[in-house]
Amino acid sequence: MKDLLVKYKLVLKFILTFLLVYGTLTFAYKFYLDNANINNKTDDLTYLVAKQTDVLLENLGYDSVIEKHPDEPSMKLIINGKYVARVVEGCNSVSILILFTSFVLAFVGKFKTTFLYILAGSVLLYVVNLFRIVILSIGLYHYPWRSEELHTVVFPLIIYGMVFLLWMLWVNKFSNLTKTDD
């Protein structure tokens, strides 16, 4: 048994670190949501994403409006008078950022490099997510019959593809993992 633990030390360290960081951040986020969604109120992060989406759409020439959904903690997104989407908690990219951060910390590098990479990667993922929502909203406005493909295939591919590319860059260029660590 000891031989197996020695042989798979790096794998076990990765798994345990990932699960610990992911569990801790997820628990903290759930705590935040439980306190933010009192009285069917949209949490501040989701509201911020909806507001920034609205601003980007306005800058692209669309008459965009966000409104509090009357029956649930989400924001209604209206383009040129047409209700096209709800901005819900899952749209705010926090769960993606938790996943990204957990992976990077599981393959930790130097403190400063790790911190800056998580910070830069998180900002990049947040911005990509905003543009993903904007493009999805425009797509839903112009091509509502394609909503299933847009929402469940194309746009998750964009954000998860970006996360994967950032992970690969991290592991291959910045983490403490070296070629001699077999």
Distances, alpha carbon 5 to alpha carbons 72, 143, 177, 178, in Å: 49, 54, 18, 19
- In the structure, what pLDDT confidence band is assigned to residue 38 with cuts at 50, 70 and 90? low
Rounded to the nearest 10 degrees, what angle do helices 44-59 and 111-142 cross at? Answer: 60
24 pLDDT above the threshold of 60: yes
Alpha carbons 3 and 164: distance in angstroms, whole number: 32
pLDDT digits (tens, 9 = 90+) for 126-142: 999 999 999 999 999 99
Alpha carbons 31 and 167: distance in angstroms, whole number: 27
Alpha carbons 47 and 165: distance in angstroms, whole number: 28
Q: What pLDDT sits at residue 78?
A: 96
Q: Which two tokens stand for residue 74?
A: 């989400």
When comparing pLDDT for 120 and 10, which is higher?
120
177 pLDDT above the threshold of 70: no
Average pLDDT, the chain: 89
Query: 3-class DSSP state for residue 84?
Result: strand
Alpha carbons 91 and 109: distance in angstroms, whole number: 30
* Per-state percent for the chain, helix, strand, coil, to nearest 5: 75, 10, 20
When comparing pLDDT for 5 and 68, which is higher?
68
Q: Which of 48, 36, 42 is nearest to 127 (CA)?
A: 48
